[in-house]
Structure 1
Amino acid sequence: MSEPAARTKPNLLQYIGYCYGRRLPSSMLQWVADDLAGPGATVRMMIRMCVPAVLILTPFWIIPMSLYLHMSTTLPILIPFVFFSHALNKVWRRHMLRKHGLDPGLVDYRNRQRDAHIHDAYIEKYGPRSGPPSSSAV
């Protein structure tokens, strides 16, 4: 009997665990790289981080109150989740790439591709940069 082929995408339980910090099997590394560094990665991560807050705050909307009270009880909690998920987005994605044994620099890959012409124009005009690499070159 032949062995079943290794999965390349996570099932529902693996996906939920992965969303909140678990490591996926090595057969799914390409999916992880695309998820954390591909198009829409920032938005996906922000949504994943806001889901627990929304689940916790949903019962507040069941209590009969005015719209003003609903908003004043939930928004002060939800807004920091949105801000922090945006502020720590790259940090978390780099952590998850490192956790899966991938290059954390993949997070900036799309930006480097987009801005490559700017760097090429700089090198053409002023020559290559010298000195230690800055944190923005990671």
Structure 2
Amino acid sequence: MTESPTPTFAQRVGYICGKNLPASKSEWVLADLTGPGATRRYLTRILLPIIPVLCLFLLLPGPLWMGLAMMALLYIPLIYFTVALMYVYRRHRLIGHGLDPALADIDARRRSEADRLDYERRHGRA
């Protein structure tokens, strides 16, 4: 029996919680961390699960706006730091799976290379 290139449900839950997948899933990990939709998946995995926990503030006695304000005081910095640390997280996960950490910004490198080639072509250097 051949092993599937995608993780099982249990492996996927473990991966989301921070566990490393077997080496046979390296292509899937690379696509998950650097492929199309990687940013959306990263933000969803971090920002959505905390919402039910923050909703506990709504159970405190007092006006609704106070509970919402307490939620916002925690959630807004979480958004900021989650976005700010995205590159660090990607590199960490790539290293943990035995992949090259330079792949974390492969899209930015491709864009800058295309811009450089376009510049050189326009200014007669190519």
Q: Into which bin does the TM-score normalised by the smaller protein fall?
A: 0.7 to 0.9
Q: Residue 19 of structure 2 is aligned with which of 2, 19, 22?
A: 22
Instruction: Determine if the alignment matches structure 1 residue 56 to structure 2 residue 53.
Output: yes
Farther-moved stretch of structure 1 (53-62 vs 8-17):
53-62
Q: Percent identity?
A: 35
8 Å contact kept, 1:60–1:70: yes
Q: How many residues align?
A: 125
Aligned residue number for residue 111 of structure 1? 108
- Structure 1 pair 70–110 and aligned structure 2 pair: CA distance change class (3 A): same
Residue 118 of structure 1, CA deviation? 1.8
8 Å contact kept, 2:95–2:101: yes
Instruction: Determine if the alignment matches structure 1 residue 69 to structure 2 residue 66.
Output: yes
State the TM-score, normalized to the length of structure 2: 0.82
Q: CA RMSD in A?
A: 2.3
- Structure 1 pair 126–88 and aligned structure 2 pair: CA distance change class (3 A): farther
8 Å contact kept, 2:21–2:97: yes
Provide the rounded CA distance (Å) in 2 between the counterparts of 1:55 and 1:66: 19
Aligned residue number for residue 132 of structure 1? none
Provide the rounded CA distance (Å) in 2 between the counterparts of 1:32 and 1:43: 15
- Unpaired segments ≥5 residues, structure 2: none
Aligned residue number for residue 131 of structure 1? none
Could you list the per-position Cα deviations for residues 30-64 of structure 1 after superposition, in whole angstroms to 9, with x for gaps in the alignment?
11000000112122112212234223213333556
- Structure 1 pair 72–26 and aligned structure 2 pair: CA distance change class (3 A): same
Q: Residue 37 of structure 2 is aligned with which of 40, 47, 65?
A: 40
8 Å contact kept, 1:50–1:82: yes
Amino acid at match of 2:50: A
Provide the rounded CA distance (Å) in 1 between the counterparts of 2:88 and 2:27: 20
8 Å contact kept, 2:57–2:68: no
Provide the rounded CA distance (Å) in 1 between the counterparts of 2:9 and 2:19: 13
